[in-house]
Amino acid sequence: MEKILERVQTLITDYGMSTLGAIAVFVLGIWLAKFLSNSLRKLLRKRKVDETLVTFLGSLTHVLLLIFVIIAGMSKLGVEMTSIIAMVGAAGLAVGLALQGSLANLAGGVLLFVFRPFRVGHFVEVAGNKGTVEEIDIFTTKLKTFDNKTIIIPNAKVTGDTIVNYSVNETRRVDLVIGVSYGDDLDKVKKVIKGVLSEDPRILKDPEPMVVVTELADSSVNFAVRPWVKTSDYWDVYFDTIEAVKKRLDREGITIPFPQRDVHMYGHEAGAA
């Protein structure tokens, strides 16, 4: 009985301390990994580094530090480094086969970091979704929609589909189609619309706004109205121009046919500043 107790005591002494040491390494390592990754983010933000790069590097640093903590903890348990490397290699192969989608998302995150088709704060259309970029992680991209919904898209889908960036250029063209009655004077209509555009200081003089007849529809003559604005003014000008043109045409006695089943006053381009 004494030999058994001595053996148990020896095992507790030999392996208990190693286990406690490994637990300490894991707990301290996880805390340290989070602390260092957050510190890196704060440092990069303090130096006014682009938020896209801040998020990506912070996430990547955190993952790499966690891998290091796991290896250090297993080493503390007495596992040989060669065994760890062999195990990591075997596990990496198995995980790689099981998580091909995740690896594709990781590769997509790297591509977004390298080529940077958009940044945090840009309004984009990716994978059939439109929204403002809130965060670019190593696996996913987070968008915020106009109605305050959060959309999380795997990076593999982001890089594997068409990307439309509405915010990258300083100016944008507002495209409107306005239909008037066949009985109205087209020259007068054009003059009225140009007058509305010229009175709005947000509309750029260069390039010059375009007002032209584009279609003789079933119930209306359609005008294409295409002023250029700063990207930040896009939506304000879009809505204000529709309202201002309608009010001015009403004052001038120019008819916008109603109901119109083949044409409406609308914008061709849906985007945001």
- Per DSSP, 208 falls in state P
The rounded distance, in Å, linking the Cα atoms of 83 and 79 is 7
- In this structure, are residues 70 and 33 in contact, taking their beta carbons and an 8 Å threshold? no
Q: Which residues contact 223 (CB under 8 A, 6 or more apart)?
A: 177, 178, 179, 180, 189, 190, 193, 211, 212, 213, 214
Numbered ranges of CATH 1.10.287.1260 in the chain: 2-98
Q: In the chain, where do the E strands start and end?
A: 123-126, 129-136, 140-144, 150-154, 163-165, 171-173, 176-180, 210-216, 221-226, 228-230, 266-267
Helices (H) and strands (E) in the chain, counts: 8, 11
For 80-94, 96-110, 240-254, which range has the lowest pLDDT when averaged over its residues? 80-94
CATH code for the part of the protein at 171-267: 3.30.70.100
Structure tokens given for 145: 């929609």
pLDDT, tens only, 147-162:
999 999 999 999 999 9
Q: Which of 67, 70, 65 is nearest to 25 (CA)?
A: 70
Name the residue with higher pLDDT: 232 or 10. Answer: 232
pLDDT of residue 92: 62
Could you read off the pLDDT of 188-243 as tens digits, one per residue? 999 999 999 999 999 999 999 999 999 999 889 999 999 999 999 999 999 999 99
CB 180 within 8 A of CB 189: yes
Specify the amino acid at residue 114.
V
> Is residue 259 reached through a cis peptide bond, with omega within 30 degrees of 0 on the bond before it?
yes
Name, in order, each residue with C-beta under 8 angstroms of 67's C-beta and a sequence gap of 6 or more. none
Fold of 115-165: SH3 type barrels. (2.30.30)
Q: β-strand 171-173 against 129-136: which pairing, if any?
A: unpaired
Q: Where in the chain is the domain with CATH 2.30.30.60?
A: 115-165
CATH 3.30.70.100 domain position(s) in the chain:
171-267
CATH topology of domain 2-98: Helix Hairpins (1.10.287)
pLDDT value at position 181? 92
Binning pLDDT at 50, 70 and 90, where does residue 2 land?
low
Q: What is the predicted pLDDT for the residue at 32? A: 87
Looking at residue 216, its amino acid is L
Are the C-beta atoms of residues 223 and 170 closer than 8 Å to each other?
A: no
Query: Which pLDDT band holds residue 270 (cuts at 50, 70, 90)?
Result: very low
pLDDT at 94: 61
